[in-house]
Amino acid sequence: MFNKEKIVSRFMEYVKISSESGSEGDFHRKLIVDLDELGAEVSVDEAGSKAGSDANNIYAYLKGNMETEPLIFSCHMDTVKPGKNIEPIIEEGLIKSKGDTILGSDDKSGITAIVEAVKLIKEQNPDHGPIQMIFTISEEVGLRGAKNLDYDRIIGKRCYVIDSSGPVGKIIVQAPAHNKIVSEITGKPAHAGIAPEKGISAIMAGADAISTMNLLRIDEETTANIGTFEAVGAANIVSPAARIVGEVRSLDKDKIDLQTSHLVVCLRKAAD
């Protein structure tokens, strides 16, 4: 069975090796050594140069001893900031950071789980099909490693990505795509008391745009929101500038495109 002490000590070892997005090199090298030790066939791609990282995606393959569909397990190697010189401590049965950095359990708890599970499989050799492990770079800054994966190296169709909070056993099977819309409306300033007809109000144009938008719950798969409407100015000046920020989410690619262009059209019409 799993050895709790070994899992904890591997996790502590992993989080102590800094791997902020773009600087995963040290951890990447350590993981390759550990995967080699497990007897996995390890290779790397060239995603780092495209993703702006000093490391690459790692692919590790473990032969099966029976003919079944290959299973893939994946995690990301990078962490958010501040993730340098992490000192993990154990307090009342919980692993925490000392307080001045993140802990890095996202995603090193997942990596630890995968490596320890595969180690157990190697030791006990139960019946299992081919297993592939894929460890990616720079997830936290826009899934840059995953976007530059070498699909020719991927051996199967079913992949578990161990990277979510919540109760053990929870599985996320889909997530929405997300578009952010940033709009800057330029008006024309004028003295509102003396010559308002010489001005063009950016606030009024922005308000016009928003009032024509279909927002919030669009359908069961699609949402849209305006979260920011900024226009700071004097009460006696026709507003020269406004900034509107919103977003659209949908589980359906066509719907997100349609809703996004609807918001853009509303903004353009009002600005015209």
Please list the active-site residues.
78, 139
The 3-state secondary structure of 62-98, one letter per residue: ECCCCCCCCEEEEEECCECCCCCCCCEEEECCEEEEC
Minimum distance, C-beta of residue 2 to Zn ion, in the bound complex (Å): 22
Residues paired with 184 in a beta bridge: 243
**Binders of Zn ion among 158-217, rule CB under 5 A?**
163
Q: Which of 194, 179, 158, 196 is nearest to 263 (CA)?
A: 179
Place of tokens 């490596």: 115
By C-beta, is 173 or 194 nearer to Zn ion?
A: 173
Total residue count of the chain as it appears in this document: 272
Q: Write each residue from 129 to 168 as x if it is in contact with Zn ion (CB under 5 A), else as -, in one continuous string.
A: ----------------------------------x-----
Query: Encoding tokens for residue 272?
Result: 């015209």
Residue 20 near Zn ion by CB under 5 A: no
CB atoms under 10 Å from CB of 138, counted, come to 29
Interacting span for Zn ion (CB under 5 A) from 44-52, 103-111, 243-251, 264-272: 103-111
Minimum distance, C-beta of residue 160 to Zn ion, in the bound complex (Å): 14
Are 256 and 264 contacting, i.e. CB atoms less than 8 angstroms apart? Answer: no
By C-beta, is 104 or 130 nearer to Zn ion?
A: 104
# of chain residues touching Zn ion (CB under 5 A): 3
Minimum distance, C-beta of residue 76 to Zn ion, in the bound complex (Å): 6
Give the separation between CA 47 and CA 146, rounded to whole angstroms: 9
By C-beta, is 20 or 107 nearer to Zn ion?
A: 107
φ, ψ dihedrals at 58, nearest 5°? -110, 140
> Strand, coil or helix: what is 175?
coil
- Pick the binder of Zn ion from 34, 45, 78, 106 (CB under 5 A): 106
Rg (CA), the chain: 25
Residues paired with 185 in a beta bridge: 242
Minimum distance, C-beta of residue 60 to Zn ion, in the bound complex (Å): 19
Interacting span for Zn ion (CB under 5 A) from 19-27, 93-101, 107-115, 190-198: 107-115
By C-beta, is 163 or 252 nearer to Zn ion?
A: 163
By C-beta, is 138 or 223 nearer to Zn ion?
A: 138
Minimum distance, C-beta of residue 16 to Zn ion, in the bound complex (Å): 18
Residue 107 near Zn ion by CB under 5 A: yes
* Site of interaction with Zn ion (CB under 5 A): 106-107, 163
